[in-house]
Amino acid sequence: MRRSPLLGLAVHAAAAIALLAAGDDASAHMEMKSPPPRRSKFNPHEDYTTIDYSNTAPLAADGSNFPCKGYPPKGNVATLRAGGEVRVELTGGAPHGGGHCQFAVSYDGGRSFGVLKTLVRNCMAGGEGLTPAVALPADLPACSSCVFAWTWINAIGNREFYMNCADVEIQSAGGRPVTLPALTVANLPGYPTVPEFPNPGDPDGAAIFDHGRTVTISSSGGAVGTPPAGNPAAVKSARVADPAQAPGPATGTSGAAAAEENKKAKTANVKTAKAKKTKKKSKSAKESSSAAAAPAAAGLTAPPAKATTAESGGEGACAPGEM
């Protein structure tokens, strides 16, 4: 029996669809659906030429696309109100046992993030599930172009860090700066690595959220915080994370300038030490000369000076038996 060409095409098409579906299941993780993030298929400002169909994937292992996967803003997708709440929707095929999530806001284009809500251990795996509610402080300043971010440290699987960013407007009658906890980053170079914690009681690294660091945000977009060490891209953009991974308080001097100042200070210290040593030797020689001249002035013969012992037993050392 001769097979119809149309039937053959249908078989190949079905096989291709099955392979694509299997690939999606194998590589699918999780992503924020609402508010729709940058480059997302849910974002009305994106089209087939700009959509990232792997938006569920974690950040690059080298941290090069932190924050926001390196994607630029393309227009607000939601209007939020201070004192209200955001009903976030998460979606995807692999929640990896849940884990830790944070929801944060940036007023300076992603250089720093103030945390609005932290879910430790039970993100997506319990409690509010895939639709957590995030409250916005009533005194949160107004902002025409802010970034709303979701981050995730997965409980099971490769040690990764996920992040989606949505561009939003925040309406508010408040105008004073507000201080919020600083965003915690993990599983990227220069940041803490949180081990897998699939079972209750497993060490889950939750202590990294108790860093005590803060970010002060204002409607002008300013943010006060200390950049973390380790990730060059993060340092360049002055993002804030765990205190253990961040340098001390800023002094207004760049890293290169500070290193140069330290080098100069060390050189100055060495010169000072050499000068003191030379001065001490000169003083000792002068005192010895004066001591030798004193007996002669009194008509006495000075006793021969004893040889001094060198540290390594070299020239001027006492002979065996000499006192």
Provide the sign of the torsion angle of the four alpha carbons 295, 301, 303, 305, taken in this order.
Answer: positive
Q: Which has the closest alpha carbon to 185: 89, 273, 110, 293?
A: 110
CA distance 171 to 14: 49
pLDDT of residue 209: 96
Fold of the domain spanning 24-247: Coagulation Factor XIII; Chain A, domain 1 (2.70.50)
CA 196-198-204 angle, to 5 degrees, is: 50
**Residues forming a β-bridge with 78:** 168
pLDDT of residue 9: 45
CA distance 235 to 143: 25
pLDDT of residue 60: 97
Q: What is the pLDDT of residues 118-159, one digit of tens each?
A: 999 989 887 789 999 999 999 999 999 999 999 999 999 999
pLDDT of residue 269: 53
Q: Decide: residue 311, CB within 10 A, 0-12 exposed, 13-18 middle, 19+ buried.
A: exposed
pLDDT of residue 175: 79
Low-confidence ranges of the chain (pLDDT < 50): 3, 5-27, 226-262, 265, 288-323
Residue ranges in the chain assigned as alpha helix (H): 5-27, 232-236, 255-297
| Cβ partners under 8 Å of residue 268, min gap 6 | none
Q: Decide: residue 22, CB within 10 A, 0-12 exposed, 13-18 middle, 19+ buried.
A: exposed
pLDDT of residue 94: 77
CA distance 110 to 189: 19
